[in-house]
């Protein structure tokens, strides 16, 4: 099959590209490189340096060849930033996604897989782990902007027949076990690479935002899913949307606290890490753990790389060997 991956130069998108290539598919990547990296695009994929905010350029890519499906990862994705500048998030994530969906409809694409988020479930009252039919109550403009696109895709299915899979994955982490790709955000905001940088002596003491949550050790609890497992999940999702649209939560069903992540990095690195408590951040729920059982039942998928120490080990190896991220050859 031939697939277009929007945002395929980013962290999760680049790992999805690897998974598709490993499965024998033909892959084209569309990315504006605002947060992604050209070196993250594997040699086996073609590349289009295009901004989804430019509808004409996006249309040109979709019209350039026949795609069997589109995978959409491109978005602004920082919860805290969205709390400070919500209109930017609604405009960028909304318009860019609408342009891509419009181009798919206009050019006869039949399958669309959307990178949604656990940030849809920001309310204090909910079951844990969280099933896909849980109450939608975004705790941030970022989460709200993603839910807006889920609703657009609902109507694109009903009116145009564009089948979609909305995958609400929780915390993507780790790196390709073969070392072909890794995590390089600028600035870095994710806990595991930040903690690894402390272990490698590249950062001072880590800040743990909130130690008074109603959790087992007072720090936030999150469900960490290895990006390699996430990449294979996208391939499984494509098989689910031949004749219907679907929505799934993706994760492991097991949560780890921020302090437990620090302890895992200490085990993998063999080093004791300094950390200090900091105030809570706006928009951060105490616990976010997925119930992926429906996706596992429907597809046969299961996470194989997502034990916490495995996630940390693969991330540590890539980060240690790439001190400048994709900034080095």
- Catalytic positions, please? 142
2 phi and psi angles, rounded to 5 deg: -115, 125
Start-to-end CA span in the chain (Å) = 31
CA 275 to chain centre: 26
Q: And the tokens for 133?
A: 């039919």
CB atoms near residue 142 (< 10 Å): 26
d(C-alpha 218, C-alpha 180), whole Å: 36
* Angle of helix 258-269 versus helix 191-199 axis, rounded to 10: 40
Residues 6+ apart with CB under 8 A from 146: 75, 93, 116, 117, 119, 120, 138
Q: And the tokens for 180?
A: 């072909």
- Asked whether the beta carbons of 226 and 173 are under 8 A apart, the reply is yes
Residue by residue, DSSP assigns 181-210 as -----SS---HHHHHHHHHTTSSSSEEEE-
């Amino acid at each position: 099959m031939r697939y277009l991956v929007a945002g395929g130069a980013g962290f999760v998108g680049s790992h999805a590209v690897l998974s598709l290539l490993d499965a024998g598919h033909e892959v084209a990547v569309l990315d504006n490189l605002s947060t992604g990296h050209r070196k993250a695009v594997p040699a086996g994929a073609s590349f289009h340096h295009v901004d989804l905010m430019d509808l004409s350029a996006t249309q040109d890519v979709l019209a350039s060849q026949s795609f069997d499906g589109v995978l959409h990862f491109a978005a602004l994705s920082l919860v805290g930033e969205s709390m400070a500048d919500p209109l930017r998030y609604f405009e960028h994530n909304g318009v860019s996604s609408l342009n891509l969906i419009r181009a798919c409809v206009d050019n006869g694409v039949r399958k669309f897989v959307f990178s949604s988020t656990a940030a849809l479930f920001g309310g204090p009252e909910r079951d844990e782990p969280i099933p896909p039919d849980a109450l939608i109550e975004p705790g941030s403009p970022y989460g709200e902007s993603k839910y807006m696109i889920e609703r657009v895709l609902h109507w694109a299915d009903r009116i145009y027949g564009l089948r979609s899979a909305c995958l609400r994955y929780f915390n993507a982490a780790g790196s390709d076990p073969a070392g072909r790709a890794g995590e390089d955000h600028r600035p870095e905001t994710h806990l595991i690479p930040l903690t690894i940088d402390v272990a490698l002596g590249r950062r001072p003491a880590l800040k743990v935002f909130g130690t008074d949550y109603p959790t087992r050790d007072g720090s936030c609890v999150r469900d960490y899913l290895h990006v390699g497992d996430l990449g294979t999940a996208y391939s499984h999702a494509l098989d689910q949307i031949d004749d219907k649209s679907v929505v799934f939560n993706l994760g492991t069903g097991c949560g780890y606290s921020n302090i437990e992540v620090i302890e895992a990095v200490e085990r993998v690195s063999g080093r004791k890490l300094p950390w200090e408590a900091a105030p809570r951040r706006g928009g951060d729920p105490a616990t976010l753990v997925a119930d992926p059982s429906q996706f596992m039942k429907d597809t046969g998928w299961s996470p194989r790389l997502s034990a916490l120490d495995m996630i940390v080990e693969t991330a540590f190896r890539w980060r240690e060997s790439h001190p400048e991220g994709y900034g080095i050859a």
